[in-house]
Chains A and B, each alone.
Chain A
């Protein structure tokens, strides 16, 4: 089942902060985060694993609540380059390994 992302869209002024959430109804092994600019390929941002391990870009921070099967991506002091669509992908425990992606959160950062 597809994870639910919120909000669906957000508009920021440069320098403002945003939080993007990803919620699953299934127990998870991990959550992946990717950003996609219009017409381009998604680019890896971060992986959050059960047990607290994280892997990703230094300037990106995120959290993973294993008990609630929720993850949040924190974008602080946003820059124009942060604009794009953010997707979370979940690795659920009840299926063979594959990532199920949410429908995305569109972020627009304005000057």
Chain B
């Protein structure tokens, strides 16, 4: 079955440690995204990538980093510089992206990160 996988589902870290969240898709989608969701809030875009080896900052990129070395993989690193990293992180993909496109986003199951 095609889809997006994120691992792990739950992640616990101590403050000051970097942590990398995995996102893999086998949908052959060009575009991939990382969102952060806080309780009772909408989705806020962290980073997105339209093509391999290229990515752009979203609205809340500070304290995060990404890489896109393979089409199917888009890992997110939450660095120690992120002041409030505890949140639910969602990865998504779409066939491609562009203004006015009709390409929906497919979301992974998410990773709930807790930093203490």
A-side interface residues, number (CB < 8 Å): 28
How far, in whole Å, are A46 and B86 apart by their CA atoms in the complex? 30
A20 contacts B by Cβ under 8 Å = no
Shortest 4 CB-CB contacts between residues of A and residues of B:
A41-B107, A101-B42, A29-B100, A44-B104
Specify which chain B residues have a CB less than 8 angstroms from the CB of A30 in the assembled complex: 99-102
Residues A101 and B58 in contact in the complex (CB < 8 Å), given A29-B99, A44-B105: no
Q: List B residues at the A interface (Cβ < 8 Å).
A: 35, 40-45, 48, 56, 58-59, 90, 97-102, 104-110
- Convert A44-81 into 0s and 1s, putting 1 for each residue whose CB lies closer than 8 angstroms to a CB of B: 10010110010100000000000000000000000000
Instruction: Report yes or no: B97 in contact with A97, Cβ–Cβ below 8 A.
Output: yes
In the complex, the answer to whether B43 meets A101 with C-beta atoms within 8 Å is yes
Interface residues of chain A, those whose CB is within 8 Å of chain B, are: 2, 29-30, 32, 34, 40-44, 47, 49-50, 53, 55, 87, 89, 91, 93, 96-104
Give CA–CA (A40, B58) in the complex, Å: 22
Q: Name the B residues within 8 Å of A44 (CB-CB).
A: 104-106
Residues of chain A lying within 8 A (CB to CB) of residue B101: 30, 97
Q: Is the CB of A101 within 8 A of B44?
A: yes
Q: Do residues A49 and B56 form an inter-chain contact, with CB atoms below 8 A?
A: no
CB-CB under 8 A from B106, the residues of chain A are 44
